[in-house]
Structures are given as C-alpha cells and as structure tokens.
Amino acid sequence: MGWDEQSRRNVLAGMGAGLVAAATPMTALAGSKRLAAPVKKLRYAVVGLGNYAVNQIMPRFKDTESCELVALVSGTPAKLEKYGAQYNIPATHHYNYQNYDKIADNPDIDAVYIILPNSMHAEYTIRAAKAGKHVMCEKPMANTAQECEAMIAACRKAKVKLMIGYRCHFEQYNLHVIEQVRSGLIGKPHVITAEHGFYAQPGQWRLDRPLSGGGSMMDIGIYSLNAARYLSGEEPVLVTATESTDRTDPRFKNVEDQIDFQLKFPSGVIANCVSSYSTGHNSFRVTGEKGWIGMEPATPYTGHQLWVRKGGKTEQVTLPPPSKNQWAGQLDHLAECVVSGKEPIVAGEEGLKDMRLIEAIYRSAREGRAIKVGA
C-alpha cells in the first residue's frame, strides 16, 4: 500500500480493567523462538515512495535491530532527492522504474520492500528475484492467485526469501488474542466476527480496478479475512459472500463497495466478516463456550483496545508497551529468516492463501452460491 498519482503515472489473558499482561513473542504464530539478531544488517531498498512507505515503513528502520535502509526506487525525481537527503542515501542508490533491474549490480542492496499498487507487485517481485534480492511485498500479494504462484516460483528459483507485509502478525495485541484463544480462555470457539472498513475518498488508485484488482475486499477486507484465519487457526472449507455496491456512486465505476462474507472452518467455527469502502469498522471478536475476547480497534497502527468477557463480567486488558513495534518486528523477521534459512511466518504461501479465498469470495458474490474451498 502507499502510492501517489505522479508515481502512478510514472508508473494490515489476563483479566481485569487496566490489567498489565505479558506480551506475546512476535513469532508466536509460527510457534518458534525468536532468533538472535544477525551480525550483518539486512540492507533494504524501498520500492514506491507513497504515503505508507514514507510515513510508516521508512521511519521504522531506526527501530530495528537487524535492518538498514540503503536505497530508494521511485518514478518521481523530487521524491528521490527529498528522501535521499533525509535518510542519507546517495544518488548512486536512487533508482526509477526503468532502471530498477540495475539493483542486481549493487552489492549494498540485500532486499527490497515493494510498496506499489497491487497490480505491480508480481512484476517487481519477480524482477527483484531475478536480481538476486530478497523480497518483502505489501498485501494483498497480487491481483490474482496465478500471479502469487508466479512470485513464489520466481523467488524459489532464485533462492531468495519472499515475505508478505502482514504487520498484524507482529503486533502484540493481535498475538495476545491468538495466544488466549489457543490457551482455552474462552473455551471452544464457535463464532468469529471481523469487520473492517472506511470511507474511501475518490480519485485514488484503490478505486481503479486495473491497479487494485478490486475494491474494498482487495484493500481493507483482507484484514477481516486474514484475522478470521489466524484467530481460528484453521483454513476455511466453505465461503459465502454478498456484495452491496451503489453503482451511481462515482467511486464505484469498476470496483465493489461492501462485501459481507462468511467462512466455515473444519471445526465448525463460523466467521462473519465485513469489508467496506463506505462505513467505518475495525474490530474482531471470538466467542466461545465460556465467553468472548475481542478488540476494537483491532488492527490500526496504534490505539489497540482489548476486552474479555467471562463469568458475566466484561473487562479491559492493557498490555505494556512493546519492546519493538509491529513494523520493526516485521522488518527484522525477514532479516532473521535470511540468516537462519527458515521461511517467514508470513511467506508467499500466506499471501497466496488469502488471494485464493478472495477469488472464492468474489465468485460466491457473483454467482450467488456457496463455494467450497481448500480441497
């Protein structure tokens, strides 16, 4: 995520009010211990200097243990000059979309972080792999499952790591909820709700299907989808979806507004999810036999709030400040995987799973029937 129009043209336990609970390790989703920081830092080039890149990703390099920002790629010379000066990156390490492949000749670059419109993810991942660079790619991974498969194949062939930017897998509140659900805090889970949406302003690339691949489902909806999967700890077997879009709204000439979708999991858990470009949502809840645990907001950049209801009482859980923010944890995790040889907890296969489900959601909404998945 993160882009601008000029670049376009140039080319997501404890109970008790105020309770302080222990933070969950950032690699909890993988069930592994955190690795020691690499001696040599993983040196990144950021590809695409839009809002998310310059306001969220680039400032976080200072918070990492194992990473360094060493190069920039943009179709806007003024941005290369501005951010090159801000981050002390010399002109020799500035690239545009035409000479991007020359990163292969720069031994100072170990990895790229691709923060471009969705339609460009596959191309720039594959080109990076051919250049021998590891890849962090923003979500959604690509516009189609077929493109995701091509990205995975290219990185495997080049023997480089491919990781998708699922920041919530490194965010302490989300990890704490997962840990508590797995521990049996609320008993056997039965129902998950996950709702994400905002009012999408007109005139942005997210509302242009050739660039985005779709509407809210390809953007904010992926948070509901991915949350349902990591909260349940399972992969769905049945998908049902309904679209609601006002085609008189000029924002929705070729993309959808709202999609309500339901996922059925092998254990019987049902997830009811919302994706919207016209209404504000940022929450999830897991309800079990003994109560529920939920968050609102659930997946923002900051300001997470967590509640647990058990024994007829609803109380807020507050975690201590994390030792590392979600972006720094995400960036360092790729560095750790490069050193250890292990696969990232959110490797390309994670993005492919979401994309296959998104395609099933679109198909269900289009055909008006439930779609079996995961076979």
CATH at residue 254: 3.30.360.10
Q: Same domain, yes or no, for 61 and 93? A: yes
130 is catalytic: no
Q: Same domain, yes or no, for 311 and 366? A: yes
CATH number of the domain enclosing 108: 3.40.50.720
What pLDDT sits at residue 374?
A: 86
Q: What is the pLDDT of residues 213-255, one digit of tens each?
A: 999 999 999 999 999 999 999 999 999 999 999 999 999 999 9
Number of Cβ atoms within 10 Å of the Cβ of 355: 25
Domain assignment of residue 350, yes or no: no
Q: Is the dihedral of CA 208, 209, 213, 214 positive or negative?
A: positive
Q: Same domain, yes or no, for 211 and 282? A: yes
Domain assignment of residue 205, yes or no: yes
Q: Same domain, yes or no, for 58 and 156? A: yes
Domain assignment of residue 271, yes or no: yes
pLDDT at 351 over 60: yes
The residues, any chain, with a CB within 8 Å of residue 229's CB and separated by 6 or more, are: 235, 236, 353, 354
Q: Same domain, yes or no, for 104 and 87? A: yes
Give this prediction's pTM: 0.90
Average pLDDT over residues 110-117: 98
Q: What is the pLDDT of residues 252-293, one digit of tens each?
A: 999 999 999 999 999 999 999 999 999 999 999 999 999 999
Q: For the chain, report the end-to-end CA distance as a whole number of angstroms.
A: 31
Domain assignment of residue 203, yes or no: yes
Q: Same domain, yes or no, for 118 and 156? A: yes
Q: What are phi and psi of 225, to 5 degrees?
A: -65, -50
Average pLDDT over residues 117-130: 98
Q: Identify whether 321 is preceded by a cis peptide bond (ω within 30 of 0).
A: no
Q: Same domain, yes or no, for 68 and 178? A: no
- Expressed as residue numbers, the domain containing 130 is 29-167+327-345
Domain assignment of residue 10, yes or no: no
Q: Same domain, yes or no, for 363 and 268? A: yes
Q: Regarding predicted confidence, which is higher, 181 or 28?
A: 181
| 259 vs 148: CA distance, rounded Å | 23
Domain assignment of residue 41, yes or no: yes
Please, is 204 exposed, middle or buried when counting C-beta atoms within 10 Å of its C-beta (0-12, 13-18, 19+)?
middle
Domain assignment of residue 218, yes or no: yes
Q: What is the pLDDT of residues 146-199, one digit of tens each?
A: 999 999 999 999 999 999 999 999 999 999 999 999 999 999 999 999 999 999
Q: Same domain, yes or no, for 360 and 331? A: no
What pLDDT sits at residue 40?
A: 83
Q: Same domain, yes or no, for 223 and 192? A: yes
The residues, any chain, with a CB within 8 Å of residue 101's CB and separated by 6 or more, are: 127, 130, 131
Domain assignment of residue 12, yes or no: no
Active-site residue, selected from the candidate residues 44, 113, 124, 223:
223
pLDDT at 82 over 50: yes
Type and span of the H or E element at 227? helix 221-232
| 307 vs 293: CA distance, rounded Å | 6
152 closest CA partner among 179, 175, 129, 182: 129
pLDDT at 7 over 90: no
Q: Same domain, yes or no, for 182 and 312? A: yes
Helices (H) and strands (E) in the chain, counts: 10, 16
Active-site residue, selected from the candidate residues 41, 79, 133, 139:
139
Q: CA dist 328 to 117, 169, 323, 324, 333, Å?
A: 22, 12, 10, 6, 8
Give the count of domains, the chain: 2
Q: Same domain, yes or no, for 191 and 133? A: no
353 is catalytic: no
Q: Identify whether 140 is preceded by a cis peptide bond (ω within 30 of 0).
A: yes
